[in-house]
Amino acid sequence: MALRSAAPIHSAPPLQRPPDNMRGIILMAAGFFAFGVTDMLAKLLTSELHPFQIVWFRQLGLLAGVLVLLSVKGFHVLRTPHPVLQITRGAAAVTSACLFIFALRYVPLADATAVTFIAPFIVTILGAVLLREPVGIRRWLAVGAGFIGMLIVIRPGAGVFHPAIFFVVLAAFVFSARQLLSRMVSGDDSIATTVSYTSITAALLISIPLPFVWVTPDHASTYLLAFGMTVGAALGESLIIRALDVAQAVVVTPVHYSLIIWGTLYGYIVFADLPDAWTFLGCAIIVASGLYTLNRERIAARRKKADAA
């Protein structure tokens, strides 16, 4: 899912065995397919449940995936020299999820998914400003193109704009801060450690307001939808963790953009929302710019590694 994956997909520790990139791509694609289903079910639930309650159900799935991870790898995974950063990352994860679900009540699924794809550009900006990371003119042009694509999708003042889309934009900013924290801890903590802290922290935080917003569903179908969303989240998280474990992150990360396919498909089949030509154009610009940005990051990482050698 665009902003729901707990895994830090922009960086990963060196693999201890030869990467199986094809297997990783298949696992990553299956994971984002599961997250696409999860987002669709979340949008269905927004008509009956409070967004906090929906996020809580969803976090149960992510937490289940982490508990399986801990049972396999052991609780030593939770050891970290950066507990404050890890907890902050978990808080950012649940905040971005809540903002996204709030928006889904009013915004078409495909539009919301497309706007979340501006996150890599925000990460580039924050990395340059806060971490003093070098950013060349070509990456700045990609950032600019990505934001133009976003404006084409949301088209403020064109009669199709809904103010709730700004919740998605804000969610992308929070998600980007989360990714920046991923970079800050990636040198010392494994993906398993980061995912575990994120899931546990998010589950605890979203449980705090739950008693004040809880709505007992009137229909069994609501429970089934919530259960399906929980299972989809757990399955998606597990598949993406596994993909990052067996393959190189720079290879499997672009599969993230497959979410727009599922967002468009489910939006049309379930909600009768078919994006217009402008939305497709804006999305194409965002995806192309994002893939270019990821490629530039891959090249920069390769050069840095070569210089270190």
Report pLDDT for 309: 63
* Residue 276 scores a pLDDT above 90: no
The CB density around residue 281, as the number of other CB atoms within 10 Å, is: 14
CA distance 154 to 250: 29
How confident is the model at residue 247, as a pLDDT? 79
H helices of the chain, where?
Answer: 21-45, 51-73, 83-104, 109-116, 119-130, 137-154, 165-185, 191-207, 210-213, 220-246, 249-252, 259-271, 277-308
How far is Cα 245 from Cα 225, in angstroms, rounded to an integer?
Answer: 30
Q: What is the mean pLDDT of residues 23-52?
A: 92
For residue 304, pLDDT over 60 is answered with yes
Greater pLDDT, 128 or 81 = 81
Percentage of the chain exceeding pLDDT 90: 36
Q: Decide if 9 contacts 183 (C-beta within 8 A).
A: no
Give tens-digit pLDDT for 64-89.
878 888 888 889 999 999 999 999 99
Task: Please give the DSSP secondary-structure letter assigned to residue 253.
Answer: G
Is residue 12's pLDDT more than 50? no
- What value does the mean pLDDT take over residues 139-147? 88
Q: How confident is the model at residue 13 (pLDDT cuts 50, 70, 90)?
A: very low
CB neighbour burial string for 33-48, b if at least 16 within 10 angstroms, e if fewer: bbbbbbbbbbbbbbeb
Lowest mean pLDDT, pick from 14-28, 46-60, 111-125: 14-28
CA–CA separation, 288 vs 94, rounded Å?
28
What confidence tier does 17 reach under pLDDT thresholds 50, 70, 90? low
Of 65, 90, 119, nearest in space to 242 by CA:
65
Residue type, 133: E
pLDDT band at 269 (very low <50, low <70, confident <90, very high): very high
Percent of the chain at pLDDT > 70 equals 89
User: Which residues have a Cβ under 8 Å from the Cβ of 306 and sit 6 or more positions away?
Assistant: none
CA dist 97 and 186 (Å) reads 22
**Residue 31 near residue 261, CB atoms below 8 Å:** no
pLDDT bracket for residue 174 (50, 70, 90): very high
pLDDT at 90: 93
Residues ≥6 apart with Cβ < 8 Å to 137: none
pLDDT winner (highest mean) among 82-91, 171-180, 265-274: 82-91
What φ, ψ does residue 281 adopt, rounded to 5°?
-65, -50
**Can you give the pLDDT at residue 242?**
81
Confidence at 54, pLDDT banded by 50, 70, 90? very high
The model's pLDDT over 198-254, given as tens digits with 9 standing for 90+, comes to 999 999 999 999 999 999 988 899 999 999 999 998 888 778 878 877 877 767 778
pLDDT value of position 14:
46
Tell which residue, 203, 194, 171, has the closest CA to residue 59.
203
Local structure of 189: helix, strand or coil: coil
State mean pLDDT over 1-23.
Answer: 58
pLDDT score, position 281: 92
Q: What is the mean pLDDT of the chain?
A: 85
Asked whether the predicted pLDDT for residue 40 surpasses 90, the reply is yes
pTM for the predicted model, two decimal places: 0.83
